[in-house]
């Protein structure tokens, strides 16, 4: 997929996320929008995960530690062919549906049940370590929110990642700088974050996490260093792609009204037209 | 067949010996430790099979998370850590990453119960049954003696489900005749037959239940002893058979009286509409006195003598109700 195709894909994903959240009446809107471009590049450009190879151990793996942004994951997995997109409109946030408000293995394409923060990195470390022990060539990608880094378990896992020299592990931080209560730096300061990850033994790179071309270029280079886990500090904007949601704390899990949805979709369609898509 | 107890090894030693023997033939078995290989009697395992042991340091949450990931990568994982920490410090990882995510991880709680008696309540694991019983999709096993431990380990290797096994650190009397006893996860074993009273025991107090039954027998009281080594899946049929064929039931466990074997049995009996003189023996809802395991057992009536007294009191109740 070339850059223009990736850009168009991100817009389509954003539209679907907004539509399914609006339709289902609940969802983590802004956090899903901040990491759309990361999942887009991972699933369409970087990772070897398909419905056909999903039952095999020796393929790439993706664990979304920031499980609350499940709408983006459900959207991307539908696009990858794990299930029809229509299932999301019928199922998201519906009673008796398998499309729970956090990732669950009941949904095809999902590796691990997440939602309680600070869990995904340890599981990813174990999965990467199993790959090393078994002589497999797969890579493990995991996406963490920045707010969840206050969970100490993330740092326990980071120590193990470096200790076992897991260069088949790629940790991506969705650094949108906002959490439900406010700015991360006001809630429980994380900075200097890159320095902390470097000190914990990662090969750290920073990137504009809403720039699909920059993400593609960077993620094509993993591992950044042999014998070290890779860490991508992806600087993103929460609510990215919808003007009135961008960098606004209130949209953490707010659902757009009918009118707000129309405005958002119009903005995204305009962006699509500007890319030359008709 | 009734056997006279002879002294065996600590159950956690039997666990590590058995697992080492099996793991030599099965390189997919992995032990994960949290600076706990010494207390887990796993030093020899680490020396003989260094590629099959993973150390994560003193980090129990990470221990369970990594174990779940190793399982996702195809490994058969035994996560070994003191029971007091691994069932509470990492309870959310056990719930979400093992049980809810349905990973083939066996959580091994060592130095369980009040094995660390004199180290105090921080190191007592008398909450683990309660904590894990209300988490769905994890089997719970607490062997009484070396035979049950060895058989449980052999069964768990071929048991691709979330599980918890609880092991103590003191040498245990051998209670079973290995030649004539069948061990199955979820299937209780009758150690003594009897019709006056039944003692349903789990884990290390089982030896005391046998001792009590033998004392009662000499007093002309017929006491059945059931080794309920598995709390989940629970052998309800064994409980119901005891309720139908004895006049009173005592449960005994190295656990708080809250949320363990006793309350499980009481609940099952009530829901079947069975009313029977019944007593839960365990640690009361308080922080224990200071003492080693034998002292604490004796103080709280988890002893042959204590169980005899409890049985006699219960049977008196039966008489007064007649």
- Residues A49 and A54: their CA atoms lie apart, in Å, by 6
Phi and psi of B43, rounded to 5°? Answer: -65, -45
User: Candidates 3.10.620.30, 3.60.21.10, 3.40.50.970, 3.40.50.1360; correct CATH number of A3-274?
Assistant: 3.40.50.970
Over residues B28-40, the mean pLDDT reads 94
State which H helix or E strand residue B253 sits in.
strand B248-256
Phi and psi of B135, rounded to 5°? Answer: -105, 120
Which top CATH class is B6-174? alpha beta
Confidence band (pLDDT; 50, 70, 90) for B288? very high
Average pLDDT, chain B: 96
- Residues B168 and A268: their CA atoms lie apart, in Å, by 62
B69/A113 touch (CB, cutoff 8 Å), yes or no: no
Phi and psi of B223, rounded to 5°? Answer: -125, 120
Over residues B142-168, the mean pLDDT reads 98
Over residues A89-111, the mean pLDDT reads 95
CATH architecture for the domain at B189-320: 3-Layer(aba) Sandwich (3.40)
- Residues B194 and B191: their CA atoms lie apart, in Å, by 10
pLDDT tens digits, one per residue of B242-262 = 999 999 999 999 999 999 999
- Whether chain A has a CB inside 8 Å of the CB on B137: the answer is no
- pLDDT at residue A278 above 70? no
- Look at the block and give the residue holding tokens 């001792």: B211
- Residues B205 and A258: their CA atoms lie apart, in Å, by 65
Over residues A89-106, the mean pLDDT reads 94
Listed in sequence order, the residues at least 6 apart from A137 whose beta carbon sits closer than 8 Å to its beta carbon are: A58, A131, A168
Exposure pattern of B258-274 as b/e (b: 16+ CB <10 Å)?
Answer: bbbbbbbbbeebeeeee
- Residues A89 and A37: their CA atoms lie apart, in Å, by 22
- Residues B168 and B20: their CA atoms lie apart, in Å, by 18
Q: What is the ipTM metric for this complex?
A: 0.96
pLDDT tens digits, one per residue of B219-228 = 999 999 999 9
- Whether chain A has a CB inside 8 Å of the CB on B68: the answer is yes
Average pLDDT, chain A: 96
- pLDDT at residue A277 above 80? no
Nearest Cα to Cα of residue A251 among A8, A14, A10: A14
**Is A63 within 8 Å of A124 (Cβ atoms)?**
yes
Structure pTM? 0.96
Confidence band (pLDDT; 50, 70, 90) for B153? very high
Which two structure tokens, joined as six digits, stand for B297? Answer: 């057992």
pLDDT of residue B164: 98
Sign of the dihedral defined by the CA atoms of residues A142, A145, A151, A152, in that order? positive
By C-alpha distance, the chain B residue nearest A136 is B73
pLDDT of residue B317: 85
Confidence band (pLDDT; 50, 70, 90) for B2? low
Chain B residues in contact with A125 by the CB 8 A cut-off are 62, 65-66, 69
- Whether chain A has a CB inside 8 Å of the CB on B111: the answer is no
- Residues A191 and A11: their CA atoms lie apart, in Å, by 31
- Look at the block and give the residue holding tokens 């290989």: B37
- Residues B110 and B37: their CA atoms lie apart, in Å, by 10
pLDDT of residue B3: 61
**Is B110 within 8 Å of B81 (Cβ atoms)?**
yes
pLDDT tens digits, one per residue of A151-167 = 999 999 999 999 999 99
Q: CA end-to-end span of chain A, whole Å?
A: 18
Sketch the domain layout of chain B as residue ranges.
6-174, 189-320
CA dihedral B76, B79, B83, B89 (to 10 degrees): -120
Over residues A93-122, the mean pLDDT reads 96
Nearest Cα to Cα of residue A217 among A37, A30, A63: A37
Cis bond before residue A223 (omega within 30° of 0): yes
Identical fold, B6-174 and B189-320: yes
A127/B69 touch (CB, cutoff 8 Å), yes or no: yes
Confidence band (pLDDT; 50, 70, 90) for A276? confident
Strands (E), B56-104: 76-82
For an interface test with B, which of A102, A123, A141, A165 has the most B Cβ atoms less than 10 Å from its Cβ? A123
Listed in sequence order, the residues at least 6 apart from A52 whose beta carbon sits closer than 8 Å to its beta carbon are: none
- Rg of chain B over CA atoms, in angstroms? 19
Closest partner residue to B66 (CB to CB) among A112, A113, A126 is A126
């Amino acid at each position: 997929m070339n850059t223009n195709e990736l850009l168009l894909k991100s817009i389509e994903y954003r539209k679907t996320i907004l539509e399914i959240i609006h339709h289902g009446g609940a969802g983590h809107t802004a956090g899903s929008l901040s990491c759309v471009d990361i999942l887009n590049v991972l699933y369409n450009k970087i990772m070897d995960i398909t419905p056909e190879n999903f039952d095999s151990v020796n393929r790439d793996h993706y664990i979304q530690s920031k499980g609350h942004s499940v709408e983006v994951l459900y959207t991307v997995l539908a696009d990858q062919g794990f299930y029809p997109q229509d299932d999301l409109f019928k199922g998201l946030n519906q009673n008796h549906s398998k499309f729970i408000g956090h990732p669950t293995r009941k949904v095809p394409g999902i590796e691990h049940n997440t939602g309680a923060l600070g869990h995904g990195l340890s599981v990813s470390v174990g999965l990467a370590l199993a790959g090393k022990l078994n002589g497999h060539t797969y890579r493990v990608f995991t996406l963490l929110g920045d707010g969840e880094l206050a969970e100490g378990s993330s740092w326990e896992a980071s120590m193990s990642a470096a200790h076992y020299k897991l260069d088949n592990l790629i940790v991506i931080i969705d650094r949108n700088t906002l959490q439900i209560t406010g700015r991360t730096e006001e809630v429980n300061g994380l900075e200097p974050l890159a320095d902390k990850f470097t000190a914990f033994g990662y090969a750290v790179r920073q990137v504009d996490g809403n720039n699909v071309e920059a993400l593609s270029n960077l993620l094509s280079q993993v591992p950044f260093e042999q014998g070290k886990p890779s860490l991508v500090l992806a600087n993103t904007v929460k609510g990215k792609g919808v003007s009135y949601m961008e960098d606004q704390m209130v949209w953490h899990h707010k659902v757009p009204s009918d009118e707000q949805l129309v405005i958002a979709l119009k903005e995204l369609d305009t962006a699509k037209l500007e890319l030359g898509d008709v | 067949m009734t056997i006279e107890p002879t002294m065996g090894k600590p159950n956690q030693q039997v666990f590590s010996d058995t697992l080492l023997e099996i793991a030599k033939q099965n390189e997919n078995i992995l032990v994960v430790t949290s600076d706990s290989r010494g207390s887990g009697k796993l030093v020899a395992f680490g020396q003989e099979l260094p590629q099959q042991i993973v150390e994560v340091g003193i980090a129990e949450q990470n221990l369970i998370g990594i174990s779940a990931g190793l399982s996702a990568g195809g490994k058969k994982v035994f996560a070994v850590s003191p029971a007091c920490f691994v069932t509470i410090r990492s309870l959310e990882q056990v719930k979400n990453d093992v049980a809810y995510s349905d990973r083939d991880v066996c959580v091994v709680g060592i130095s369980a119960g009040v094995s660390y008696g004199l180290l105090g309540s921080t190191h007592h694991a008398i909450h683990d049954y309660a904590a894990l019983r209300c988490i769905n999709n994890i089997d719970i096993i607490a062997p009484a003696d070396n035979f049950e431990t060895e058989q449980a380990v052999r069964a768990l290797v071929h048991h691709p489900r979330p599980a918890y096994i609880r092991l103590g650190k003191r040498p245990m009397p051998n209670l079973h005749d290995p030649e004539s006893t069948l061990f199955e996860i979820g299937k209780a074993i009758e150690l003594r037959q009897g019709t006056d009273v039944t003692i349903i025991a789990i884990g290390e107090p089982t030896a005391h239940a046998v001792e009590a039954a033998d004392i009662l027998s000499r007093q002309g009281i017929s006491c059945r002893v059931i080794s309920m080594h598995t709390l989940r899946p629970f052998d309800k049929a064994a409980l119901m058979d005891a309720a139908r064929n004895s006049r009173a039931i005592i449960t005994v466990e190295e656990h708080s009286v809250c949320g363990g074997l006793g309350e499980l049995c009481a609940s099952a009996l009530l829901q079947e509409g069975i009313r029977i003189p019944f007593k839960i023996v365990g640690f009361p809802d308080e922080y224990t006195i200071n003492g080693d395991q034998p002292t604490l057992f004796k103080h709280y009536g988890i002893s042959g003598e204590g169980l005899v007294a409890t049985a006699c009191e219960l049977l008196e109740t039966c008489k007064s109700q007649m």
